[in-house]
Chains A and B, each alone.
Chain A
């Protein structure tokens, strides 16, 4: 019976939610960036393509990049500058890019808000 209670307690403890922030890592190429002029702080809407999200299969999508983010890892350049490679992590789902939309400001859907990021030097393309 003691063993049963022990194992039951262990199972309950394991199944309890733990406190953590659901960060996700990403790497991608900044194709284009537009400022989110309404947002609190300096935030950019950045199209990443290719965009790698915990995967070797590339996709494309947008993230909101706050400048400066929490920290700049391996920073060579600002991550909002187009044609730079970025590597970092973001908080999925956080919608922080707000741009004017006539009657106020509206949020643009992004995969999340970049929390920590490092970037490369920009390439020489238009």
Chain B
């Protein structure tokens, strides 16, 4: 009997308790740009849970592609994190803007999440969507505790009260813990067969949205995003040059090799299969065929990334890579503005004032006492379309 209880205890421990204890992560060292260690990996995972602090919407640093390197993208994400929790990290230290340096105050905030960075138990879900367990706030301190250094500045750190933690728990259970920001790669993982069955229009309508990357080389394998792919025997056309018998599976993208006979220059891409064809989809998806393709632009930062409605005309300096020297357009869900030149290929300056309907959006937000509206934007130019980047529009401020 004793042996039985011993085994039962071991099993319970293994299946119930171990997963909860094994993955909590605590930051014990300051972190800064240029650092390379495992703390950065965990840091990026936390940052990627919040749509406002994601390290990168795609590629290195994006959700599922976190790295050990504290680069510029991580620094910018930390700045947004610090400014999001301004009252707890910056204001007590007399700072107006985020520093990008992970000092004591920032680490305390990160540690207060007691964040579970790895999904310890399979929570289900063969729908393919990975729902991370929500972080839990467990620290039981309150009041002003001590002065610490952050980025060379003397400061006072305020611990949260239990009421604040309770509120934070609710917030994170609802928002950050379960609904991490998504990008195109996560779209591909979530739209599997099970999910697609729930949304018949994703399956039946034959559409081509875009190709990734936009600039392609004959013989290069690319990704075509769209809907209505049949499992087998898809026919793609690159400006009239067909590639046939392509197997796409049951998804919303398909890997296709650009036919070697494709003409150079801008080409319309179309799809034909047993579900129909994309020629009547109402818009054209294009690829630029060249022997020397250039990847799309990358946005690394937008300063300021929080715009008060009273400062709508303020310049927003967008930093990144591979902006076109000539014409760049800023796209948002409200519409597009531009063109904007970029003499160094790394900087674009625009203002929200130029955006159509922005005043209507603000007016409605003001009437409804909205505080913040997250506004995604992307840069489009001859190299294609960048991934989306977020700025926050602060209303009534």
Which A positions have Cβ atoms within 8 angstroms of B? 3-4, 7-8, 11, 14-15, 17-22, 24, 29, 31-32, 34, 37-38, 40-41, 45, 47, 49-50, 52-57, 59-62, 66, 70, 82-83, 91-113, 115, 125-126
Q: Is the interface of B mostly helix, strand, loop or mixed?
A: mixed
- Whether A3 contacts B4 by the Cβ 8 Å rule is yes
Determine if B140 is an interface residue (Cβ-Cβ < 8 Å). no
Beyond A53-B179, A62-B333, 19 extra complex contacts between A and B, CB < 8 Å: A14-B15, A32-B360, A40-B201, A45-B333, A49-B370, A50-B370, A57-B171, A82-B364, A91-B195, A92-B129, A93-B180, A94-B195, A95-B187, A101-B378, A102-B331, A102-B385, A106-B209, A107-B209, A108-B376
Contact of B178 among A56, A92, A108 (CB under 8 A): A92
Q: How far is the CB of A10 from chain B (nearest CB, A)?
A: 9
State the CA gap A20–B281 with chains docked (Å): 33
Residues of B250-285 at the interface with A, using a CB-CB cut-off of 8 Å, are: 269, 281-285
Could you name 22 residue pairs across A and B whose Cβ atoms are closer than 8 Å? A3-B4, A14-B15, A15-B122, A20-B125, A31-B364, A31-B368, A41-B199, A49-B365, A49-B368, A56-B170, A57-B167, A59-B175, A61-B179, A94-B190, A95-B183, A95-B186, A95-B187, A96-B199, A101-B380, A102-B336, A105-B210, A126-B364
Determine if B367 is an interface residue (Cβ-Cβ < 8 Å). yes
- Whether A19 contacts B126 by the Cβ 8 Å rule is yes
Residues of B177-229 at the interface with A, using a CB-CB cut-off of 8 Å, are: 178-184, 186-187, 190-191, 194-195, 198-199, 201-202, 204-205, 207-211, 214, 225, 227-228
Closest to B174 in A: A55
- Whether A104 contacts B211 by the Cβ 8 Å rule is yes
- Whether A53 contacts B198 by the Cβ 8 Å rule is no
State the CA gap A66–B372 with chains docked (Å): 24
- Whether B7 contacts A4 by the Cβ 8 Å rule is yes
A-B pairs with lowest CB-CB distance, top 4: A55-B174, A41-B201, A104-B210, A40-B205
- Whether B385 contacts A101 by the Cβ 8 Å rule is yes
State the CA gap A15–B129 with chains docked (Å): 18
- Whether B124 contacts A18 by the Cβ 8 Å rule is yes
Q: How far is the CB of B386 from chain A (nearest CB, A)?
A: 9
Determine if B51 is an interface residue (Cβ-Cβ < 8 Å). yes
Interface string of B132-155 (1 = CB under 8 A from A): 000000000000000000000000
State the CA gap A106–B213 with chains docked (Å): 12
Contact of A66 among B8, B182, B199, B228 (CB under 8 A): B199
Residues of chain A lying within 8 A (CB to CB) of residue B334: 34
A109-B181 in contact given A21-B194, A101-B378 (Cβ < 8 Å): yes
Residues of chain B lying within 8 A (CB to CB) of residue A108: 333, 376, 388
- Whether A104 contacts B286 by the Cβ 8 Å rule is yes
- Whether A55 contacts B124 by the Cβ 8 Å rule is no
Closest to A34 in B: B333
- Whether B187 contacts A102 by the Cβ 8 Å rule is no
Residues of chain B lying within 8 A (CB to CB) of residue A60: 370-374
- Whether B182 contacts A93 by the Cβ 8 Å rule is yes
Q: How far is the CB of A65 from chain B (nearest CB, A)?
A: 12
A40-B367 in contact given A101-B331, A107-B187, A108-B388 (Cβ < 8 Å): no
Closest to B370 in A: A49
Q: How far is the CB of A40 from chain B (nearest CB, A)?
A: 4
State the CA gap A37–B364 with chains docked (Å): 23
Determine if B127 is an interface residue (Cβ-Cβ < 8 Å). yes
Closest to B122 in A: A17
Residues of chain A lying within 8 A (CB to CB) of residue B390: 109
A100-B283 in contact given A15-B121, A22-B129, A22-B131 (Cβ < 8 Å): yes
- Whether B368 contacts A125 by the Cβ 8 Å rule is yes
State the CA gap A108–B286 with chains docked (Å): 19
Closest to B4 in A: A3
Closest to B210 in A: A104
- Whether A17 contacts B125 by the Cβ 8 Å rule is yes
Residues of chain B lying within 8 A (CB to CB) of residue A62: 333, 374
Residues of chain B lying within 8 A (CB to CB) of residue A56: 170
- Whether B198 contacts A70 by the Cβ 8 Å rule is yes
A92-B179 in contact given A55-B171, A57-B174, A103-B380 (Cβ < 8 Å): yes
Residues of chain B lying within 8 A (CB to CB) of residue A34: 333-334
Q: How far is the CB of A17 from chain B (nearest CB, A)?
A: 5
State the CA gap A109–B363 with chains docked (Å): 24
Determine if B57 is an interface residue (Cβ-Cβ < 8 Å). yes
Q: How far is the CB of A50 from chain B (nearest CB, A)?
A: 8
Residues of chain A lying within 8 A (CB to CB) of residue B180: 93
State the CA gap A19–B329 with chains docked (Å): 44
- Whether B124 contacts A22 by the Cβ 8 Å rule is yes
- Whether B126 contacts A126 by the Cβ 8 Å rule is no
State the CA gap A52–B175 with chains docked (Å): 8
Residues of chain A lying within 8 A (CB to CB) of residue B388: 106, 108-109
Q: How far is the CB of A21 from chain B (nearest CB, A)?
A: 5
